[in-house]
Chain A
């Protein structure tokens, strides 16, 4: 990789109910060679009480972080036009810029009018223009939405900047650890606690409609699976059987959970119907069967089993039936996760001492290793299918990373002060 670029974006992530702050850093460790030069000109700000969010800064950071764009730093800009009339395209052409974005944010009685235009610098042509209204609280989301619009216009792929991620943190407090399930924006801002406990929290899984999260909590000193509604904070326990209650995975229609239970003696995959609470046992091996994941068409379940001696991935019908082994390369293949189109399957792939993220092409069954860490785990696809978010570790610190499906682009999200793991990208 010739083109290696590093940018650092440092910001404070505030927890509205707490005094603690985590500082988050995003670092692009590997960008793509064909990154498009784009200038996000600082938006003109107008208003009596100022603008609480630097919208153009957020857009700049989103696009740079994606790895698809190389943004021009403010100091190198030949001017700061905020209206089309003020743009001198030849000045931006001279700087090798392919695209530029200008805009204005105007305060109007506590509401903000945000307006932006995207130009092709060589053709001197507007490609897109939008005007939107936002409250102060929503300005960051508005900025991410602008990033999505620009990204899709220029790459043809859906942007993922307005998505959110769920993840688990743990921080040591004396002799005990504090575990939290949090949700933040895709850039790590606006982190909010969903659950907090001095006993482990694990395995967050978004419902297909993005309104609920299923997770495992040991708050009763044994494992239980809960479903929590984000809008109200209301939660219900859906599995409290003796032994393991783990690895929840939603069916694509949201009506069922595939889970792991060991109530019959050893861990097996069960389907829990969330409407009538009926339980169907899917696997019956004497070995470990766990980590079920549903194919996006709802027809198949992929899971981890050590029935062959080492953990490998198996596939079966979600109605039950024959179980077929899927993975044959590497002595450890586990924790599968489907791409939204069902064509790729991400997994934790171990080959001797290291655990890395690999992806299987479901048509050819060929496996490609995408990362080069020592303990990479918990892969989760972005809703546009182009990125895989995963947990990684270097030395003593655990962080989140994202890698593009072709392995060419990598980025890293670090939260100082706590271990962060088990990321799950919202649908």
Chain B
């Protein structure tokens, strides 16, 4: 305690006096601010009604043979067409040798079935920034698409979309999950 009692008493009464005048002075300013804000709550609630209308409902690709409905060869484990996911190394969109025969089998099928369309969904793992991962996922899907085009697949049969890290196949947060998430999924479209 550094102030003596008398000084303190004076300080307090001064404080009370200034308190009153400042009270009056500031009241209108604050009222104005509050009024200005009042639109916001209503607004966001209305926005909420509107936003809840959209509804995409396709399920994440799942099951062992997602393209089984296209033909029996797509669910035959001895047929490379049964493999519909191409995996990639970290921060890379280069197709690894293991997957070259898988892509070749799909290319061959698509050349033989020119009415068949396929969507190549590019994905990434969760590391790094999200929009960069969208770009990386697209590069991966385009690598696969380009290999197919070289093998004679018509451009019009191939669609590319990148989901980046937004639709993981595995929800873990370790190397095992990341490996599964750096991928391109080949989704055949129903005719």
Listed in ascending order, the chain A residues whose CB lies under 8 Å from chain B are: 16-17, 84-85, 87, 89-90, 93, 115, 117, 119, 122-126, 128-135, 137-138, 141-142, 145, 162, 172, 175-177, 179, 181, 183, 190, 192-200, 202-203, 217-223, 228-235, 243-244, 246-247, 260, 262, 266-267, 288, 290-291, 304, 306, 310-311, 332, 334-335, 348, 350, 355, 375, 377-378, 393, 395-396, 421-422
Q: Do A132 and B31 contact each other (CB < 8 Å), given the known contacts A126-B19, A197-B56, A200-B163?
A: yes
Given A175-B59, A290-B134, A311-B132, answer yes or no on A122-B19 (Cβ-Cβ < 8 Å). Answer: no
| Interface size class, chain B | 35 or more
Determine the chain A residues whose CB is within 8 A of the CB of B19 once the complex forms. 84, 117, 126, 129
Contact A17 B131 (CB under 8 A): no
Once the chains are docked, how many angstroms separate the CA of A422 from the CA of B130? Answer: 9
Rounded to whole angstroms, the CA-CA distance of A56 and B73 in the bound complex is 69
Candidates A194, A218, A288; contact of B132 at CB < 8 Å? A288
* Contact A232 B16, beta carbon cutoff 8 Å: no
Do A288 and B60 contact each other (CB < 8 Å), given the known contacts A84-B12, A231-B46?
no
B45 CB to closest chain A CB, in angstroms? 6
Bound Cα distance from A177 to B166, whole angstroms: 10
Whole-angstrom distance between the alpha carbons of A302 and B164 in the complex?
21
Residue positions of B touching A, CB distance < 8 A:
1-3, 8, 11-12, 14-16, 18-20, 22-23, 26-27, 30-31, 33-34, 37-41, 43-52, 54-60, 62, 91, 126-132, 134-136, 138-139, 160-164, 166-167, 171-173
Contact sample, A vs B, 10 pairs, CB 8 Å cutoff: A85-B16, A117-B19, A123-B3, A197-B56, A200-B166, A231-B39, A233-B47, A235-B51, A290-B135, A348-B129
Top 8 closest A-B pairs, CB basis? A233-B50, A233-B47, A200-B166, A231-B43, A132-B30, A335-B129, A199-B56, A195-B51
Please state if A198 and B57 are interface contacts (CB–CB under 8 Å). Answer: yes
CB of B14 within 8 A of CB of A125, answer: yes
**A124 near B11: Cβ-Cβ < 8 Å:** yes
Q: How far is the CA of A235 from the CA of B91 in the complex (A)?
A: 35
Is the pair B34, A172 in contact by a Cβ cutoff of 8 Å?
no
Inter-chain contact A232/B167, CB cutoff 8 Å: no
Q: How far is the CB of A99 from chain B (nearest CB, A)?
A: 13
Q: Which residue of B lies closest to A334 (CB)?
A: B129
Given known A-B contacts A124-B3, A196-B54, A231-B39, A311 and B128 have beta carbons under 8 A apart: yes
Task: Give complex CA distance A342, B54 in Å.
Answer: 37
Given known A129-B22, A132-B31, contact A90–B129 (CB-CB < 8 A) = no
